[in-house]
Structure 1
């Protein structure tokens, strides 16, 4: 099938990202696999090509606005769902060492199929809950960058994600809409988890208000965190 790549190529140009023909084909194949699998399991409410390009692919890649993705760094995508932003980041920046984590095994099996089909290297997909994986020495405080597009309260997200960030690294949350109150309410969580607010970067993406909340990891996360399964969501810090 032939796709109109005009929106994708224009968006990439605006982000100053250059992709090879092979990388473009990897994105197209990922789209096809996503839409096909979506017929039998709920991966995304968005299936039109241009919408996936805009709201999933370019949104994921917008991270380049606040982080140098051309460095060789380790990245964890917590609550990756259908693979966003982790898979687009890995396709566009093969230098990244990526770990995708999600609590639903069906999604992880799909992502493992995508990784194999696209021939991606230095990327793994883990079936795990953040609360349990965060206690695992193999993963705790081991990543230069942890990202999440998961829809959750910022305080809860921080408790799920900051324990994985090494000291000197960053946690970056993808957010939409008005987030001032949410950011203000997360100050206590940021402090308790060993983080420090660096910036809230706001931008428009095709008339959608988007933000990146960037947190520096300045000290180790106390062993108490993350708390047991479900607690960070039920009673945010």
Structure 2
């Protein structure tokens, strides 16, 4: 009679950090430590447990394109964003709640909007099970009524878009504090870029430091008045 061998998540997590994340120029010691502490497998659907720490986008729910970003993308996002302990963060696209859990360890508060009610409920359960208390998951279409659902809690120190958009809507940039920053994947396949927009006096400073692709966020416009 054969005995099933338990999957070694600790070894897989070590390999994820050393073989996926460090080679992607993520060298911030705090970010690397965080990825070792927050268990990604606790936020992954049961069917994908064995690949929870692989270099993959993990499918979520039943909607087209709904997925967790690859671990190396989440890690570099965190490094780019450089959250501070007192920061207030808006996340659009909660997904499984994993990225919110990571950010919650670095900042004061995360408000996260999820358009899919089932995903929002699962994210709340995942966060509660992980003991994360400073994330509020709201079921909402972030784009509806000129981004009205994003206003509660504004202005923010940071805004994170959990998927790609054609362009960054000006309505979201107006919700940043001076010195605040917005992170998103911007562009159209196959040409997308990680984009960091900082709110500075009199306008915005834009950096697009690396190539990356991500599924589209639902209902975001394919064009807007804001141009890079």
TM-score (norm 1): 0.62
Asked whether 1:9 is paired with 2:14, we answer no
Tell me which residue corresponds to 1:31: 41
Note the residue ranges of structure 1 that are not aligned, 5 or more in a row: 40-45, 184-189, 204-208, 212-228
Tell me which residue corresponds to 1:135: 148
Q: Report if aligned partners of 1:144, 1:170 keep a CA contact under 8 Å in 2.
A: yes
- Report the Cα distance in structure 2 between the residues aligned to 1:162 and 1:71, rounded to whole angstroms: 21
Note the residue ranges of structure 2 that are not aligned, 5 or more in a row: 1-6, 58-67
Asked whether 1:233 is paired with 2:202, we answer no
**Cα deviations by residue, 1:81-114 (Å, 9 ceiling, x for unpaired):** 33363233234x2x34111101111111011001
Q: Report if aligned partners of 1:61, 1:85 keep a CA contact under 8 Å in 2.
A: no
Tell me which residue corresponds to 1:214: none
What's the Cα RMSD here?
4.0
Structure number having the greater helix percentage: 1
Asked whether 1:117 is paired with 2:125, we answer no
Q: CA deviation at 1:233?
A: 1.8
Asked whether 1:49 is paired with 2:63, we answer no
Change (3 A) 1:7 1:146: same
Q: Report if aligned partners of 1:7, 1:50 keep a CA contact under 8 Å in 2.
A: no
Change (3 A) 1:19 1:159: same
- Report the Cα distance in structure 2 between the residues aligned to 1:124 and 1:37, rounded to whole angstroms: 26
Tell me which residue corresponds to 1:210: 212
TM-score (norm 2): 0.64
